[in-house]
Amino acid sequence: MRVLVTGAAGFLGSHLCDRLLDEGHSVVGMDNFITGSRENLAHLAGEERFLFIRHDVSNFIFVPGKLDAVMHFASPASPNPHSPFGYVNLPIQTMKAGALGTHNTLGVAKAHNARFLLASTSEIYGDPLEHPQTEGYWGHVDPIGERSVYDEAKRFAEALTMAYHRFHGIDTRIVRIFNTYGPRMHTDDGRVVPNFLMQALRGQPLTVYGDGQQTRSFCYVDDLIEGIYRLLLSDEHRPVNVGNPDEITILEFAETINQISGNQGIAFHPMQRGDGDPQRRQPDISRARELLGWLPVVGLREGIRKTIPYFEEKLSLLHENRIKDPSSGRPGTGS
């Protein structure tokens, strides 16, 4: 296949490009670097089956040559209001990537008669009243809250994807991604994994927001990409949750990171996101298991150990002043 991946310079997009190339496909990567990094694609320099186009997906997209699949991953993705990469600080760009970007990428799929896969999110469930979250749950989302720029854009994106499927017969997929971590995450986007790992490696106390009793379920990136690749090859048009169902409180997560890294100390901070921070999040992955035969296989401790060398390398580059410390001076972003 020849596959267009938007958001290719991001954390997930770059891993997806690698996987597609490993499977023998050709990839057109697209990104405008608003939250992504050239470094994430540097290893693909000279790869003949990889073409990069710098472009904002909110504008009309033209891709020369044939395309067999379009995978729309372009969107800011961090909820942290203290990070310049957080969608709260990129509200219009986030809504445009989810709304106009989805419209444009669906248009590309239609023009090329290509299959389409939307990167949706567990955030479409909002602060869920049903637990664990099945794909049948409609969600509990504040339409005007701070997180709404992301949540509602993704909900619109899902609705538009289904409209193109029903009205135009486009061969669509929707993956609802739950919290994922691994190498190539931003060190500074304020999400909990980079924050805790950077703090732990610096020997600082980990910043737990609130009482730390809110839960998340963390999936290692390789497991996620496997699930997404299987979904791409499937015939499933309904949304599919992909994530790791092992639920953990943020406080337990902080203790685990300290244990693995040999760090000490937890600093409790006020909740950073008002009422918008979901209390519980855990995917029900029955659909993915039954339809795709998919299950995550990397446990949390193993995944964190696989991720630490990447953050160590970033930290040593910061120490050598080879990259600017973007977190200096801002609270709760690893500084």
Distance between CA atoms of 250 and 278, rounded to whole angstroms?
12
Nearer to ligand UDP, 142 or 171 (CB): 142
Per CB under 6 A, does 121 bind ligand NAD?
yes
Nearer to ligand UDP, 84 or 107 (CB): 84
Tell me which of 150, 181, 209, 220 is the catalytic residue.
150
Nearer to ligand UDP, 24 or 143 (CB): 143
Please indicate whether residue 310 is annotated as part of the active site.
no
Per CB under 6 A, does 217 bind ligand UDP?
no
Nearer to ligand UDP, 4 or 124 (CB): 124
Distance between CA atoms of 318 and 151, rounded to whole angstroms?
33
Per CB under 6 A, does 80 bind ligand UDP?
yes
Give whole-number Cα distances, 116 to 178, 192, 244, 285, in Å. 20, 30, 24, 21
Is the separation of the CB atoms in 196 and 206 below 8 Å?
A: yes
Q: Where are the beta strands (DSSP E) in the chain?
A: 2-6, 26-31, 50-54, 69-72, 115-121, 172-177, 180-181, 206-209, 215-217, 219-220, 239-242, 247-249, 266-269
Per CB under 6 A, does 332 bind ligand UDP?
yes
HEC secondary structure over 14-74: HHHHHHHHHCCCEEEEEECCCCCCHHHHHHHCCCCCEEEEECCCCCCCCCCCCCCEEEECC
Query: With 0-12 CB in 10 A as exposed, 13-18 as middle and 19+ as buried, what is 57?
Result: buried
Torsion sign, CA atoms 255, 256, 257, 259: positive
For residues 254 to 283, the per-residue mask of contacts with ligand UDP, x marking binding by CB under 6 A and - elsewhere, is ------------------x----x------
Tell me which residue of 19, 307, 40, 39 sits closest to 183, measured CA to CA: 307
Residues 6-65 that bind ligand NAD (CB under 6 A): 6-7, 9-13, 31-36, 56-58
Per CB under 6 A, does 304 bind ligand UDP?
no
Binding test (CB under 6 A) with ligand UDP, winner from 2, 216, 280, 314: 216
Per CB under 6 A, the segment of 21-29, 46-54, 203-211, 287-295 that binds ligand UDP is 203-211
Per CB under 6 A, does 254 bind ligand NAD?
no
164 binds, among ligand NAD, ligand UDP, none (CB under 5 to 8 A by kind): none
Binding test (CB under 6 A) with ligand NAD, winner from 27, 41, 52, 76: 76
Nearer to ligand UDP, 16 or 251 (CB): 251
Beta carbon of residue 228, minimum distance to ligand UDP (angstroms, whole number):
18
Q: Which residues are part of the catalytic machinery?
A: 150
